[in-house]
Amino acid sequence: MQESIPNIYSFKVKKINGEEQPLSAYRNKVVLIVNTASECGFTPQLKELQQLKDEINHPDFEILGFPTNDFGKQEPLAGDDLASFCEINHGVKFPVFDKIMVRGEHAHPLYQFLSDKKQNLKLSSKPRWNFHKYILNKKGELVDFYLPFTKPLSSKIKKKVQQLLNENANQ
């Protein structure tokens, strides 16, 4: 029997309105997780992330945004103000969750899992800045990461998403 690889489905996150959202809701989807900020040089990537979602336009692909103030205090917004900023200024329709910490001892358990090979059994990659991206397969397992300089519309990200969407498509 194959050893079970850890996945994100046991984690819960808070929506901007404070409701808990189990990540098991994204079971059987390719997921791109991104830590975001509204006052960062990379903030235009919010629009590019939405363009990626629209371009791929597949029901089994989701992008999840996690605002953080961990890097240069570049996320002063919270709650409805944050949601409005993302939607009005960048056309974001993908889920953006409540602000969390993504590094250090107080990092959200999801980010502790994503950044620590001992937990995810795949790789260690702590976010060093906003717009660090993690990609997960349809089993909720961490597959790879992309540094903030890797634009959402890069061929590297598009090819990986398509590859993961096509995995097990014939089963």
**Strand (E) positions, the chain?**
12-14, 20-22, 30-36, 61-67, 133-136, 142-146
Q: Strand pairing of 20-22 and 133-136?
A: unpaired
Q: Of 80, 89, 101, nearest to 47 (Cα)?
A: 89
Out of 8, 33, 40, 96, which one is annotated catalytic?
40
Q: Is 40 a catalytic residue?
A: yes
Q: For 75, how many CA atoms within 13 A lie in the half-sphere containing its CB?
A: 26
Query: Do 130 and 104 contact (CB within 8 A), yes or no?
Result: no
Catalytic residues: 40
